[in-house]
C-alpha cells in the first residue's frame, strides 16, 4: 500500500482542508473534558502551519438531528486554540457563503474551524453535491480522522474524489495504519491477541480474521463463557450467548487446524449478584455453581495469561477481561495491563484498540506504557476484521 501523506506536500500558501475527529466529550457546562482527540490531530496541523499554509478543520460532534446548539463546535473553540497554541477562527456553517468567505479570508498560519458537519444530514448520507461544496474550501484534502474512517460520509470519503492528486493522510491516520500493520502483517513473533469484553457476537469477525495471523489468542471477559460451555464446562449464571455456541465451536476447530493456541480462563472470581458489593468466591472456570456468575478472571488465570504475554513480541489488546468498571472485578484487567506494560518495556510492540480496553488503559494509567493506543473504536474493530475502511480507500484510490 503506497501511502501518500502530508509529508509528500509543501503547504506553503495552500489551504489544507482537514477532516479531524473532534467528537470530544463535553460536560453539562459544555466544557471539553478530554482533549486526547484534539492533541492527536496537533502534529498534522502544526506541520501545515510551519510549511506556511493555512488550515481548515472540519469535524462532527455527537449525533445532532439538524442544527442544535448543544452540538455546536463553538463550544470547543477555546480548547482547540489552547491545545494548538493558535487562536482559531470559526465559521458558523460548514458550507455555503459563510464558510467560503471565511476560507477565502484565511491567511497563512491561520486556522479556521467549521461548524458541525452533521448539522447537514447530507454529511452522513454521503451526498455528492454536499461533498463538492465542502471541497471548495481547500486546495489539498487531508484525512486525519481515524475515528470516522469506517464511515463513507461526505467529509470522510466522498469528498476525496474532488482532490485528484491532492489528497493525503495526516500523521494520525498514518500512525493508526502502521500500528495495525505491525500487528497483523509485519509482526515479530510470537504474536498474542487478547480479546475480551461482553459478547462473542461483536468480536467474532475479529477472531476469525486474526486466527491465522497470530500465535496465541487469549479470550477473557463475558465472551469466554460461551467457549467454556461449548467445551463442556459448567458456567453457572455467567453471561452466555446460546445461539453462538456453534460459532464458538467453529472457532476452536479452526484454531486447531491453523495451529493457533486459544487460551481461556481456568479460574474466575464469581459473584452472587451483578453488583460491586456482591459476595464473591473463586471457582474453576468450568465448574461454576448455579447462582454464581463469573465477573473477572481468577488468580491462576492471571499468572498464566501474564506468562504468555511476557513471552510475546507483539501484543494486541481489545476488550477487558472482567467487569472492570467495578473495582471488585477489575483485577484481571489491571494485571493484564501490567503484564502488557512490562512486555512493552522489554521491547514488545503493544497496540490497544477498540472501545472499552482504551477506557481501561486510561483509567488504570497504562496509556503511556503501551506502544500505541488507537483513537478509533469501531474503525479499529473493522480493520481488525480485515475490512478496507472507506476513509482509507478514498485516499488510496
Measured N-to-C along each axis, helices 171-184 and 36-51 cross at an angle, to the nearest 10 degrees, of 120
Closest approach of ligand AMP to the CB of residue 257, in Å: 26
Residue closest to ligand AMP, measured at CB: 197
Torsion of CA 305, 308, 311, 312, to 10 degrees: -90
- CA pair distance 350, 180, nearest whole angstrom: 10
Which residue in the list 355, 376, 377, 391 is annotated as catalytic? 355
Least separation in angstroms between residue 217's CB and ligand AMP is 15
User: What is the 3-class SS of 128-142, one letter each residue?
Assistant: HHHHHHHHCCCCEEE
Torsion of CA 274, 279, 284, 285, to 10 degrees: 0
Whole-number minimum distance, CB 30 to ligand AMP, in Å? 27
* List of residues 6+ apart from 51 with CB closer than 8 A: 9, 10, 11, 12, 14
- Of 170 and 320, the one with the shorter C-beta distance to ligand AMP is 320
Selecting among 42, 234, 369, 378, the annotated active-site residue is 378
**Shortest Å distance, C-beta 144 to ligand AMP:** 25
Q: Minimum CB separation from ligand AMP for residue 146, in Å?
A: 18
**Terminal-to-terminal C-alpha distance of the chain:** 11
Whether 37 is a known active-site residue: answer yes
Nearest distance from C-beta of residue 321 to ligand AMP, angstroms: 7
Residues making contact with ligand AMP (CB under 6 A): 197-199, 202, 221-222, 239, 294-295, 319-320, 322-323, 325, 355-356
Q: Which is nearer to ligand AMP, 174 or 219 (CB)?
A: 219
Choose among 122, 121, 123, 119: nearest CA to 145. Answer: 123
Question: Among residues 147 and 322, whose Cβ is nearest to ligand AMP?
Answer: 322
**Is 378 among the catalytic positions?**
yes
Residue 194: all three cell numbers together: 487478547
Q: From the CB of residue 215, how many other CB atoms can be counted at a distance below 10 Å?
A: 18
Of 321 and 339, which has the nearer Cβ to ligand AMP?
Answer: 321
Q: Show the beta-strand stretches assigned E in 304-390.
A: 314-318, 349-352, 372-373
Distance CA 373, CA 115 (A): 28
Closest CA to 148 of 176, 129, 113: 176
- Taking the least distance from each CB to ligand AMP, the nearer of 53 and 220 is 220
Contact 220, 194 (CB under 8 A): yes
Which of 334, 348, 234, 250 shows the shortest CA–CA distance to 287?
234
Which is the catalytic residue, given 124, 199, 313, 387?
199
* Cα–Cα nearest to 117, from 6, 20, 16, 31: 20
Q: Which of 126, 319 has the CB closer to ligand AMP?
A: 319
Residues 6+ apart with CB under 8 A from 245: 226, 229, 230
Judged by beta carbon, residue 104 or residue 359, the one nearer ligand AMP is 359
As measured in angstroms, the least distance from the Cβ of 358 to ligand AMP is 10
Active site residues: 37, 199, 355, 378
Amino acid at each position: 500500500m503506497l501511502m501518500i501523506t502530508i509529508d509528500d506536500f509543501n503547504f506553503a500558501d495552500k489551504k489544507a482542508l482537514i477532516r479531524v475527529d473532534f467528537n470530544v466529550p463535553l460536560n453539562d457546562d459544555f466544557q471539553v473534558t478530554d482533549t486526547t482527540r484534539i492533541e492527536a490531530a496537533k502534529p498534522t496541523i502544526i506541520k501545515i502551519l510551519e510549511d506556511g499554509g493555512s488550515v481548515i478543520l472540519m469535524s462532527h460532534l455527537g449525533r445532532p438531528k439538524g442544527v442544535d446548539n448543544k452540538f455546536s463546535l463553538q463550544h470547543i473553540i477555546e480548547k482547540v486554540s489552547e491545545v494548538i497554541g493558535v487562536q482559531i477562527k470559526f465559521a458558523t456553517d460548514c458550507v455555503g457563503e459563510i464558510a467560503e468567505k471565511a476560507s477565502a479570508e484565511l491567511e497563512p498560519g491561520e486556522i479556521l474551524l467549521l461548524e458541525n458537519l452533521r448539522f447537514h444530514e447530507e454529511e452522513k448520507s454521503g451526498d455528492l453535491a454536499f461533498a463538492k461544496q465542502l471541497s471548495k474550501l481547500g486546495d489539498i484534502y487531508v484525512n486525519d480522522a481515524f475515528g470516522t474512517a469506517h464511515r463513507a460520509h461526505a467529509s470522510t470519503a466522498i469528498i476525496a474524489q474532488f482532490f485528484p492528486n491532492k489528497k493525503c493522510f495526516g500523521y494520525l491516520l498514518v500512525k493508526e495504519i502502521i500500528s495495525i500493520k505491525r500487528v497483523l502483517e509485519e509482526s515479530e513473533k510470537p504474536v498474542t491477541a487478547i480479546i475480551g469484553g461482553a459478547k462473542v457476537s461483536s468480536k467474532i469477525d475479529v477472531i476469525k480474521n486474526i486466527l491465522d495471523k497470530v500465535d496465541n489468542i487469549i479470550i477473557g471477559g463475558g465472551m469466554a463463557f460461551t467457549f467454556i460451555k461449548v467445551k463442556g464446562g459448567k458456567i453457572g449464571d455467567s453471561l452466555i450467548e446460546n445461539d453462538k455456541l456453534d460459532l464458538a465451536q467453529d472457532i476452536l476447530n479452526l484454531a486447531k487446524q491453523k495451529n493457533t493456541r486459544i487460551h481461556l480462563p481456568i479460574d474466575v472470581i464469581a459473584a452472587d449478584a451483578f453488583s460491586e458489593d456482591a459476595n464473591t468466591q473463586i471457582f474453576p472456570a468450568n465448574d461454576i455453581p448455579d447462582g454464581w456468575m463469573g465477573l473477572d478472571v481468577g488468580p491462576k488465570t492471571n499468572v498464566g495469561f501474564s506468562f504468555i504475554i511476557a513471552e510475546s513480541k507483539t501484543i494486541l489488546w481489545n476488550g477487558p477481561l472482567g467487569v472492570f468498571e467495578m473495582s471488585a472485578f477489575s483485577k484481571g484487567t489491571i494485571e493484564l495491563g501490567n503484564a502488557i506494560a512490562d512486555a512493552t518495556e522489554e521491547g514488545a510492540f503493544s497496540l490497544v484498540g477498540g472501545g472499552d480496553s482504551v477506557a481501561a488503559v486510561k483509567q488504570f494509567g497504562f496509556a503511556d506504557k503501551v506502544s500505541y493506543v488507537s483513537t478509533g473504536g469501531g474503525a479499529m474493530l473493522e480493520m481488525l476484521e480485515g475490512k478496507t475502511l472507506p476513509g482509507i480507500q478514498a485516499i488510496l484510490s
